[in-house]
Structure 1
Amino acid sequence: MVLRRSRSVLLACTAFMVLGMGTASLAQTAKQDSSTDVASQKDDAATTLKKIVVKGDKPSKDVLADTPLASETTAKTIDDKQINSIEDLGRSTEVGVGFNRTDGSTNIRGLDDDRVLTTIDGIQIPFLLDGARDADGGTNSFDFNTLSTVDIVRGADSSRGGSGMLGGAVVLRTLEPGDLIKPGATWGGVFKLDYDGDDRSIGASAAVAKRIENTAVLFQGGYRKGHETENNGDVGGYSTTRTEPNPADYDQKNMLFKIRQYTDSGSTFGLTAEHFAKDIDTDLKTLESVRGNFRPGNYDGSNDTKRDRVSLDYKFEATDDDALFDSANAVFYWQHLLRENGSSGYRYTSVIGDYWRRNEIEDRGFGFSGDVSKSFDTGSLHHKVTAGLAVSFDKTHQYSAGEDSCDVRFTYSCNFLHTNQSDMPDVDGKRVGSFVDDKITLGSSAFSLTPGIRFDWYDYSPQSTDAYTRSANYSSMPAGQSDSRFSPKLRAAFQPQDDVEIYAQWAMAFRAPNVTELYENYGVPGGYVSYGNPDLKPETSNGIEIGTNLGDKDFGGHIGVFYNRYKNFIDSVNYADPTGTYPLGITEYFNRASVRIYGIEANIHKTFDNGIHINGAFAYSNGKDTETGEFISSDVPAKAAFGIGYATETWGTDLAFITATSEPKRSGDKLSTPGYGIVDLTAWAAPEQVKGMTLRAGVYNVFDKTYYNATNTNGTLTQPYSYYSEPGRTFKVSLTQTF
């Protein structure tokens, strides 16, 4: 529990940071920058406009991704490699990144769920864990066509990211007007139309930006319509023998709006509104049978994700050396994330009659996130100090609605049917985090040290609701939880020249238990139960990494080795109830005493003068419970990708070979995936006759190989193995037109 004096310190820090950022803004507004380049431009109507060149027009890298442990994927690469999902990103571009389609979580360095942080424009997208009813995920609630960059930050380092950054972070930045408006122009845009054979989907998106004097606006919208993700199964029909995927249809919509007000003092003020929605309807043929409870055509599933946010943005970049800060960023935001799943049908044998369920979990919150930086000298030492503050308030709500013909609440035949209730209380969450680090360069040497520390405090307060107190397993309200953590780090770097950096970093990290792990209470006497554990301790990590970044965009690479130890690693266990109250067993969350993960990551690329380019990447991690010797369930096999291509100014082609090792034998029903090797072939053309147009096409898994992705086979398997296989040979085609 946090002491009273800690809360006082937090309030004082909050006041100091807000006051400091406000002072910077006022100070710079009062100064007119004589060095700002003001040029006359003529628009289409021959109106003379003032063009103000401001650094904030194209935002600098997110503070979370300002580390040698990060790699960047730009919008151009997203288009060139036809990336429509996190799975596409991890296929050959970021081989150490995976995505679990079952629970909707990203995997980095063998960790997933909310052990990987996801942010968009500095705002965290929470991972929602439903626990009992499978409405999990939500961190993939964005469209890649809205993005300007994706940074993958690897490693357990909470010093800037806070709770949850144990495996790493996915740092997303959406398009800014400056990404579309070319130098010397007052407007710009992009239109894209594409087909993706993985799910036979067709997508269209368009973005346009316009600048009038020192004001710019941007609007982006997209729509995609598709079906189930293909696999290499070839057995149709129903029930447990089916290996083809269940038929599905989905609709995905997104909208992004931004307005930016630039000033000649280095400040940029903005408003952003964003909406994302994806609705999936599935014919659950694997759960139907001719003589079963659900008959063919009478059992359907739904799976929906929605996210909305509105934010006020502020960015400052100093235009002279006398500024209080060199840079500052701030965002005030409101965000709502909803995950729903459900099913509906007609029962023929057990509790005969109509049946439907609609399960939901949502997070609704608002908050502030900001950072400032300043460079200065003390004697022979050069300092770059960066400090930040994050404050958030949110409410998590879970509920199951439904109707069926079960008119007796808790008999054995109805023990799986309880609904119209919440499996945990609503939980009010409060979080405060602040950090400071200082990159210290020793005189004119190439050596630097960056010490840093972050303080985080969180508080969960369960709220009683009628939906929770009427649940079948309710006994009393659980206690709240409040705790705090310091997360220090120290990074040493040696940079003998601009394109060579050798670094070593020690860092600590932590993850607060999520509300489902603490408060879930799903079950019924006479059946089974899944319990949260209000006494869970936060996970902590202590790790080191040594690596190097070499070269530039024409020739370079990266190699890094890491070792992390985790204490109080949160997991779940199933055991028999000694009292007999729950004859089908008890599942409960607990803390593993010690887990370790080590591994290596490497990549290299080279572009030759004759237009040929080659690249390669490799990622390996190994995670075990050090006391039991068990592999952690999210651990994945080693993976590598090798590519060769040729490009001119008007066309190019690439050939990629992607391979993964076999997965160690696991206990239970989990598929231990075999190793594989697949080949992708892509090509593009930018005809000179149509300025701004690019055509792209690709054949993926050229040889129609049956293979398995370990991140999608993590759990109990009920179908034949080929049901869980990845898509066979598929095609992608896209047309992009920029203006």
Structure 2
Amino acid sequence: MLNRHHRLALLACTAFVTLAGAAISHAQSITSNETAAAEKQGRVTPLKTLTVRTGEQEGVADTPLASQVTEQELDDNQISSFEDLGRTLEPGVYFNRENGSVNIRGLDGPRVLTLIDGIAIPYLDDGARDADGGIDSFDFSELSTVDIVRGADSSRAGGGALGGAVVLRTLDPEDLIGEGRIWGGIFKFAYDGEDESLGGSAAVAARYDNTAVLFQGGYKKGHERQTGGDNGAYGTGRTEANPADFDQNNVLVKVKQYTDSGHGFTLTGERFDRDEDTDLRHAQTGATYRPGEWDGTEVNKRDRISLNYEFEATDDDALFDAANAVFYWQDLIRESGTHGVRYATPAGDYQRLSEVEDRGFGSAGYVEKGFDAGYFHHTVTLGGDFYINTTTQYSSGKDSCGPGPYPPFSSCNFLHSNQSDMPDVESKRFGIFVQDEIAFGETGFSLTPGLRYDWYEHSPQETAAYSRNPNYNGLPDGQDGDALSPKLLAKHQATDNIELFAQWAMAFRAPTATELYLDYGAPGTYLRLGNPDLKPETSSGVEIGANLGDTDFGGRITGFYNRYRNFIDSVDAPVQDPINYPFGVTQYMNRNRVQISGVELAAHKIFDSGVTLRGSVTYALGKDLDTNERLGSVAPLKGVLAVGYETETWGTELAMIAAKDVSEKSDASFKAPGYGIFDLTGWWKPGQVEGLTMRAGIYNLFDKEYYDAISVRDVTLTSTGPGRAFYSEPGRTFKFSLTQRF
């Protein structure tokens, strides 16, 4: 049954869709009348044909190592999060909810690059206070395509793409405006039982002559993400999720100018804001925090303004065949905090809020030119990027401790606040790459050598907030470095439906500001340190595979082997200080050698009868070659098998998802058991309403208790903490959505 807030949200969404649809219909009527009058007077300018790019893979995603999810597939599978994306469509993609990052092939955090319209979304981490993440600061309803690039390849993507890259493209006017039309729109409404959320979004685009405008906005309101537990007790043993409320909204505005000479310009403004408040009942034991008096807050915000330039040659005399560039400003904020009343020392009102911000501007782009040289055809691409930014961390709060200093082992000595745990860090990043795809006549075989040069510089800045840190001893040293990342890609188009590929590539990642300069703790307690002497991570990897078939019958098989040097990890410091820091010292260090290898398979078949089959298997194994420890960040064996039936007006599918940790050893504190769950989904397009699609699904059909190995890898079960099922995935949930295209 819908509560008052849900009913209001539903009414608001319905009213918005109705009014917007009426306004657009009225505008179309006026425009049609004006156009007819203009035609009679002979003063109509022919409109340039818009080319819909959906299905094309561009820039970083222009590689056989990438797979694409289109807007239609996002809608059909009711995808509104990275968890949804990796559930059945991209089973090798995970989302680690503990650190707020995408995991590909056992790597996450800053080792997976996320791009939106060619702009990198930085991964934020405060190092000690849980204000990490930020790469999910967008709404899936604003996307046109999602490309997943698997494997280490910095030559095109740049620093940070050790595990791969998530390449997002937002809606363009041509995605909504059909051929021969001057406007188009899409409206969506969705209910998700996983977090009892209701949401709506709308996108409208219109054009006049060679100028087009797009407006897109979305709003969602919901509650806590469910678990499979049923114990709602306060404190120890709780297995139900903590009650929570969240609000999420986004706005996207684009103004696009087309030309008859192949040039295009797009001015974009985007805002995303998600705010969540949680009643932390699992920590309300009555001793320190009593029921109803301990809450948490999580905030994720991103703003950007960008100018895109695109060029596609209209004749053979052009200097370049294609070009693309983006100039942008971006501000990303991640906050995490707690507040309430303490009953243990220090008693009274208590509040903490940690904020990490990355604000900067930059540019990225490339040019492309093809030419023949005897037997060979060359396609040369030259590109690069730069980014100048400032990273800021600050912890604010209040308590009854007073100004200090405090004696060793005092409770107040653990409560560091109104300070920065690292200096502000001004950073610069620059990269340039060149690659040449060399096609051997008409053989279908090509070689693509590539080379990238990256340079970075981190400069700590003196601030009053950092000088208040109890461990302050002057500014740490800055750091700069560079790297060359070569690659060699071989492709062979054996037939129209068989593409074979093999690639060797190196990748590079500079240490983050947090990894270099974190300084959290106080004498008499513990210490969490960065390391200004960290070396950049590098990798070398081989990938061999094949893309087979077409949309009706096909598949993909890939095997990969990667080695990483100077792998950055937080470990116990080699020299402990039990006198000043009796609770231990941890510090970021470089691991010497790490290895990750695995295999990925996927296949699909659509029968003439309407029956559909699809399946996939992913397996990877990672270990430290010096200690032989298994990496807990590498996901277990996972398989998906789905069978469905489709007609022109309706369809249904039953999918089985199974996972099993087949390794002999795990260094994770909590080893997730294997599982098998089922999802039942369906859709219907009523013929009475053109453009309307209704979708529904039952997820975890048999209400099985299961766990995501990636999100629980750092969980430690204790006798005073929540019960095991507190960390489980949702039980049986329902999802329903309506999509109306105009």
TM range (shorter): over 0.9
Structure 2 residue 481 is the aligned partner of structure 1 residue 500: no
Q: Is the 8 A contact 1:258 1:273 kept in 2?
A: yes
Residue aligning to 1:9: none
Residue aligning to 2:89: 93
In structure 2, give the amino acid aligned to 1:338.
Answer: I
The alpha-carbon deviation at position 56 of structure 1 amounts to 6.0
Structure 2 residue 587 is the aligned partner of structure 1 residue 588: yes
The alpha-carbon deviation at position 55 of structure 1 amounts to 6.0
The alpha-carbon deviation at position 58 of structure 1 amounts to 3.7
The alpha-carbon deviation at position 667 of structure 1 amounts to 6.4
1:189-235, Cα deviation, whole Å (9 max, x unpaired) = 00001100110100100000001110000000000000110011111
Residue aligning to 1:545: 543
2-side partners of 1:45 and 1:299: how far apart?
Answer: 62
Q: Is the 8 A contact 1:663 1:710 kept in 2?
A: no
The alpha-carbon deviation at position 733 of structure 1 amounts to 0.3
Classify the secondary structure of the residue corresponding to 1:415.
helix
Structure 2 residue 510 is the aligned partner of structure 1 residue 523: no
Q: Please show how residues 407-556 of structure 1 align to structure 2 within 5 Å.
A: 407=402, 408-411=404-407, 412-556=410-554
The structure-2 alpha-carbon separation of the partners of 1:513 and 1:681, relative to structure 1 and needing over 3 Å to count, comes to: same
1-side partners of 2:33 and 2:386: how far apart?
Answer: 46
Classify the secondary structure of the residue corresponding to 1:170.
strand
1-side partners of 2:601 and 2:380: how far apart?
Answer: 30
Residue aligning to 1:215: 211
1:530-552, Cα deviation, whole Å (9 max, x unpaired) = 00000000010011010000111
The more displaced of 346-355 and 243-252 is 346-355
The more displaced of 268-277 and 570-579 is 570-579
Residue aligning to 1:74: 70
The structure-2 alpha-carbon separation of the partners of 1:73 and 1:103, relative to structure 1 and needing over 3 Å to count, comes to: same
The structure-2 alpha-carbon separation of the partners of 1:659 and 1:669, relative to structure 1 and needing over 3 Å to count, comes to: closer
In structure 2, give the amino acid aligned to 1:305.
Answer: N
TM-score (norm 2): 0.92
The alpha-carbon deviation at position 719 of structure 1 amounts to 2.5
Structure 2 residue 656 is the aligned partner of structure 1 residue 661: no
Q: Is the 8 A contact 1:105 1:112 kept in 2?
A: yes
Residue aligning to 2:388: 393
1:459-510, Cα deviation, whole Å (9 max, x unpaired) = 0010010000111111121101100000000011111222211111000001
Q: Please show how residues 183-262 of structure 1 align to structure 2 within 5 Å.
A: 183-262=179-258
Classify the secondary structure of the residue corresponding to 2:532.
coil
1:593-635, Cα deviation, whole Å (9 max, x unpaired) = 0000000011011111111111011111111000101112311
In structure 2, give the amino acid aligned to 1:69.
Answer: L
TM-score (norm 1): 0.93
2-side partners of 1:671 and 1:176: how far apart?
Answer: 44
The alpha-carbon deviation at position 716 of structure 1 amounts to 3.4
Classify the secondary structure of the residue corresponding to 1:87.
helix
Residue aligning to 1:737: 740
- Match for residue 304 of structure 1 among 294, 299, 306: 299
In structure 1, give the amino acid aligned to 2:253.
Answer: F
In structure 2, give the amino acid aligned to 1:723.
Answer: F
In structure 2, give the amino acid aligned to 1:65.
Answer: A
Residue aligning to 2:378: 383
Residue aligning to 2:6: none
Structure 2 residue 292 is the aligned partner of structure 1 residue 293: no
The alpha-carbon deviation at position 46 of structure 1 amounts to 3.8
Q: Is the 8 A contact 2:528 2:587 kept in 1?
A: yes
1:632-659, Cα deviation, whole Å (9 max, x unpaired) = 2311101111111111111111110000
In structure 1, give the amino acid aligned to 2:141.
Answer: N
Unaligned runs of 5+ in 2: 1-28, 39-43
Classify the secondary structure of the residue corresponding to 2:291.
strand
Structure 2 residue 153 is the aligned partner of structure 1 residue 157: yes
1:58-115, Cα deviation, whole Å (9 max, x unpaired) = 4753310000000000111001000010000000000000001111010000111010
The structure-2 alpha-carbon separation of the partners of 1:294 and 1:530, relative to structure 1 and needing over 3 Å to count, comes to: same
Residue aligning to 1:599: 598
Residue aligning to 1:359: 354
1-side partners of 2:31 and 2:646: how far apart?
Answer: 35
The structure-2 alpha-carbon separation of the partners of 1:358 and 1:317, relative to structure 1 and needing over 3 Å to count, comes to: same
Structure 2 residue 618 is the aligned partner of structure 1 residue 616: no
In structure 2, give the amino acid aligned to 1:543.
Answer: G
Classify the secondary structure of the residue corresponding to 2:623.
strand
The alpha-carbon deviation at position 241 of structure 1 amounts to 1.1
Q: Is the 8 A contact 1:473 1:524 kept in 2?
A: yes
1:241-290, Cα deviation, whole Å (9 max, x unpaired) = 11111110000000000000000000011100000000000001111113
Classify the secondary structure of the residue corresponding to 2:200.
strand
1-side partners of 2:480 and 2:46: how far apart?
Answer: 51
Q: Is the 8 A contact 1:518 1:532 kept in 2?
A: yes
Q: Is the 8 A contact 1:193 1:204 kept in 2?
A: yes
Q: Is the 8 A contact 2:353 2:395 kept in 1?
A: yes
1:17-72, Cα deviation, whole Å (9 max, x unpaired) = xxxxxxxxxxxxxxxxxxxxxxxx99422415434335666475331000000000
Residue aligning to 2:320: 325
Q: Is the 8 A contact 1:655 1:680 kept in 2?
A: yes
1-side partners of 2:517 and 2:688: how far apart?
Answer: 62
In structure 1, give the amino acid aligned to 2:385.
Answer: A
Identity within the alignment, %: 58
1-side partners of 2:600 and 2:307: how far apart?
Answer: 37
2-side partners of 1:306 and 1:655: how far apart?
Answer: 37
Structure 2 residue 628 is the aligned partner of structure 1 residue 625: no
Residue aligning to 2:13: none
1-side partners of 2:63 and 2:231: how far apart?
Answer: 48
1-side partners of 2:473 and 2:122: how far apart?
Answer: 29
- Match for residue 45 of structure 1 among 22, 26, 33: 33
Q: Is the 8 A contact 2:671 2:713 kept in 1?
A: no
Unaligned runs of 5+ in 1: 1-40
The structure-2 alpha-carbon separation of the partners of 1:51 and 1:228, relative to structure 1 and needing over 3 Å to count, comes to: farther
2-side partners of 1:237 and 1:719: how far apart?
Answer: 10
- Match for residue 107 of structure 1 among 100, 103, 109: 103
Q: Is the 8 A contact 1:56 1:268 kept in 2?
A: no
1:403-437, Cα deviation, whole Å (9 max, x unpaired) = 10011343322122120000000001101111111
